[in-house]
Amino acid sequence: MQTQYDLSMGFHLDPRTKLLLMAVVSTAEFLYGHALFMIAVAIIPTILLISNKQYRIGIGFCILFLVALTVKEKQAFIHFNMLLNMIVVFLVGVVLRLSPTFAMGSYLIRSTKASEFISAMGRMHVSRKITIPISVLFRFLPTMGEEARAIKDAMRMREIRFGTKKFWRNPVALIEYRFVPLMISVVKIGEELSAAALSRGLDNPVKRTNITKIGFTGYDMITLSVSIALLAVTLFAV
Partner 1 sequence: MIVMKDVSFTYGSSGSDNGLHDINLHIKDGETILLCGESGCGKTTLTRLINGLIPYFYEGKLTGEVFLNEQEVKTIPFYQIAEKVGSVFQNPRTQFYNVDTTSEIVFGCENMALPVEEIMERLERTTDNLQLQGLLGRSLFALSGGEKQKIACASADAIHPEIVALDEPSSNLDISSIRDLTGVIRYWKNQKKTIVISEHRLYYMLPYVDRIIYLKQGRIHKEFTRAEFLCLRSTDLKELGLRSLNPFGLPVESEMKIKNTQLSLKNFSYSYEKRGPESLDIPELKLPQGEVIGIIGNNGAGKSTFARCFCGLDKAAKGIIDYNGKQYSAKQRRHISYMVMQDVNHQLFTEDVLSEILLSMEGQDEAADESCAKEILEGLDLSAKSEIHPMALSGGEKQRVAIGSAVACGKEILIFDEPTSGLDYRHMLEVANNLKHLQQEGKSLFLITHDPELIYKCCTYLLFLEHGKVLWHRPLDKKAEQLLHDFFEEECKAPKNGQLVDW
CB-nearer residue toward partner 1: 28 or 118: 118
- For the chain, what's the residue count? 238
Give the residue, chosen from 20, 50, 71, 151, that forms a contact with partner 1 under the rule CB under 8 A: 151
User: Is 3 an interacting residue with respect to partner 1 (CB under 8 A)?
Assistant: no
Minimum distance, C-beta of residue 62 to partner 1, in the bound complex (Å): 20
Q: Pattern of binders to partner 1 over 191-230, x per CB under 8 A?
A: -xxxxxxxxxxxxxxxxxxxxx------------------
Task: Categorise residue 163: left if φ over 0, alpha if ψ from -120 to 50, beta otherwise.
Answer: left
DSSP conformation class of 216: -
What is the rounded distance in angstroms from the CA atom of residue 235 to the CA atom of residue 238? Answer: 6
What is the rounded distance in angstroms from the CA atom of residue 82 to the CA atom of residue 86? Answer: 6
User: Is 159 an interacting residue with respect to partner 1 (CB under 8 A)?
Assistant: yes
**Residue 15 burial (C-beta neighbours within 10 Å; 0-12, 13-18, 19+):** buried
Residues of span 15-54 touching partner 1 by CB under 8 A: none
Residues of span 85-144 touching partner 1 by CB under 8 A: 113-116, 136, 138-139, 142-143
- Residues in contact with 122: Cβ distance below 8 Å, sequence separation at least 6, in sequence order: 128, 131, 207, 208
Residues that bind partner 1 (CB under 8 A): 1-2, 4-5, 7-8, 113-116, 136, 138-139, 142-143, 146-147, 150-151, 153-160, 165-166, 169, 176-177, 180-181, 184-185, 188-189, 192-212
